A and B are shown apart, each in its own frame.
Chain A
Amino acid sequence: MTRAILPPSAHPAEADRTPEDRGLARDEVRLLVSEGPADTDHRFRELPGLLRRNDLLVVNESATWPASLPARGRAGAFVVHLSTRYGARLWVVEPRWSPAVPGPVPIAPDETFDLAGVPTRWVAEYPGLPRLGFVRPEGDLERAMARAGRPIRYGYLAHDYPIADFQTVFAKVPGSAEMPSAGRPFSRRLVAELRSSGVRLATIVLHTGVSSLETDAAAPGARPVYPEPFEVPEATARAIRATRRDGGRVIAVGTTVVRALESATDDCGLRPARGFTQVYLHAERPLRSVDGLLTGFHAARTTHLELLAALAPAERLARAYAAAVDRGYLWHEFGDSHLILRP
């Protein structure tokens, strides 16, 4: 059903470099606003004029790790993308032949391979998610990243960028394998302007693992997500209550924020929460926590796109996506933005 949002035959334009490399400031990327029946074109820095006093933007404070590490094992040289840390001695990772060439890389059960100087044991494949596996490092992988890590970079990027290019202005707590990219277009100046125009800001942390999986890559019956650490602080729960009381709208900046807020929401409403979440949001599980979403443009058959269908009807999103393709909006983490507001 979500296939209809972006048909596999569509060829959206891709951002193959950072906005700065395209001669733009962070906040000069384009912004498509889908509200009611209209899809209107803007610049991201026009955001203060598009929101109302008492609206609340919730942003992710997770900072991006240089999570791509060189590895060597019986299969020869390969790379490992660190996805999620479940404890010092249990990580989920994605072995690949290179940043551009995915696996599978044949690693034997119990094989110990070298991961940027840290002997690391392959524990098991992640059940149902064949690209991912559990490993047990015999050393500190966070230190290994500081020493030898590079940002995860996929084939569509023209060249390497330093980790600083993968940080948002909100980045504070390291732990994401990939940039929570919806926050990338915010500049400090824009944040100040938003505040002075009466828009509130609140924060969550959700450390996102390696890319949104293709929903049909998971084994039949398996959910195409895995647990990620998150925290919704008390101050944010309070800000959301105040926003509702004052008639403002709660707008998530990024799908990670939606996942965190939905994970903190139960039948009694939203409360502070801290733990791990693997909530899988899709059209049949409508959102309870947000009125809008500020996000990028997502590839077909991904869990990100499924999540959008939990916010707005698939046929409405399909129209917005068709407009975005027609009008040359740019896809991927350094691309353009999309503000979807519930009617």
Chain B
Amino acid sequence: MTAAARPLAVVTGASRGLGAALSRFLAAQGFDLVLVARGAPALHAVASELRGSAHIVTVVGDVADAQVRARIRTAVHRHGRLDLLVNNAGILGTTPLPPLAAYDLRELEHVWAVNVMGPLALVQELLPDLRSGRSRVINISSDAAVGGYPGWGAYGASKAALDLLSLTLAHELAAEGIAVLSVDPGDLLTPGVRAALPEPELAGRPAPEVTLPFWAWLLHQDPARLSGHRFRAQADRWEVPE
């Protein structure tokens, strides 16, 4: 394994919405990328758009699938280093969003497999690389993790679980130099949301690029000082915690 010059980021759910915007941003900041998503055509479109400015590897598949995670690890090993893992892939579950009392439990298991197990499994899979890179892990959360919004219970509970995974991993991995944090990007207008929500709930949601200043700020901070914290990308202010 040779150490590559350019930093590498793995972004899951990279084919559209926040994941695609973040991938474009990271390529512009000088990262090479392993882009992961289920939808091949959209993923390849993002990859070919970015190939002029960065080295891009695509992995088509679901992060809940062990074989897909193994392919991600292979791609990371080929590159030779890992600096950033963004666990952005997530699913809303059944839409229109049913109340918890009527939620299909098998569907609930699937939401948790993708939104909770997927990110943890990927951290486990890439742990040696995260260790040697003293990397950052960013888990994408949601205000639904704390809101208790009717209809958002399954998704929200999965994001609340992900927040606690982030906090715990931050403590467990601090001694190894791995920083883990969670980011609530705030309400955004993304293809996933557009497909799931009724029109009136879409009004006023900004495009994912509204979070670019936040990511630029985040990347310039000392990761160790951010680890274990939860940030809101559209908050009134962002600052390094005391």
Among residues 238 to 297 in chain A, which have CB atoms less than 8 Å away from a CB atom of chain B? 263, 273-280
Residue B240 at the chain A interface, CB threshold 8 Å: yes
Q: Mark A215-255, 1 if CB is under 8 A from B, else 0.
A: 00001111000110010000000000000000000000000
Chain A residues in 8 Å Cβ range of B208: 127
Within 8 A of A (CB), among B188-242: 203-210, 212-214, 216-217, 219-220, 236-240
CB distance from B67 to the nearest CB of A (A): 34
Chain A, residues 46-89, CB within 8 Å of chain B (1/0): the string is 00000000000000000000000000000000000000101101
B28: chain A residues within 8 A (beta carbon): 89-90, 121, 123, 136
Let me know if B236 and A275 touch, CB within 8 A.
no
Q: Is the CB of A86 within 8 A of B212?
A: yes
**B238 contact from A110, A123, A136, A275, Cβ within 8 A:** A275
Interface size on A, residues (CB 8 A): 32
Find out whether the CB atom of B209 lies under 8 angstroms from the CB atom of A134. Answer: yes
For the complex, is B24 an interface residue (Cβ under 8 Å from A)? yes
| B side interface size, CB within 8 A | 27
Task: Indicate if the CB atoms of A279 and B206 lie closer than 8 Å.
Answer: no
Q: Does A161 contact B (CB under 8 A)?
A: no
Q: Verify B207–A124 contact, CB threshold 8 A.
A: yes
- C-alpha gap A78/B236 in the complex (Å): 33
Considering the chains assembled together, what is the distance between the CA atoms of A255 and B203 in angstroms? 30
Asked if A125 is at the interface of the complex by the 8 Å CB criterion, the answer is: yes
Residue of A nearest to B29 (CB): A89
| Complex contact B237–A276 (CB within 8 A) | yes
Contact of B237 with A263 in the complex, beta carbons under 8 Å: yes
Q: Cβ of A279: which chain B residues have Cβ within 8 Å of it?
A: 236-237
Cβ contact within 8 Å between A127 and B237? no
In the complex where A86-B217, A90-B216 touch, is A274 in contact with B240 (Cβ < 8 A)? yes
Complex formed: what's the CA distance from A295 to B205 in Å? 33
Tell me the complex Cα distance, A56–B23, Å: 47
Judge whether B206 and A273 touch: CB under 8 Å.
no
Q: Which residues of A are interface residues toward B (Cβ below 8 A)?
A: 84, 86-87, 89-90, 92, 110, 121, 123-128, 134, 136, 219-222, 226-227, 230, 263, 273-280
The 5 closest A-B pairs by CB, nearest first: A221-B204, A275-B239, A127-B206, A86-B216, A127-B207
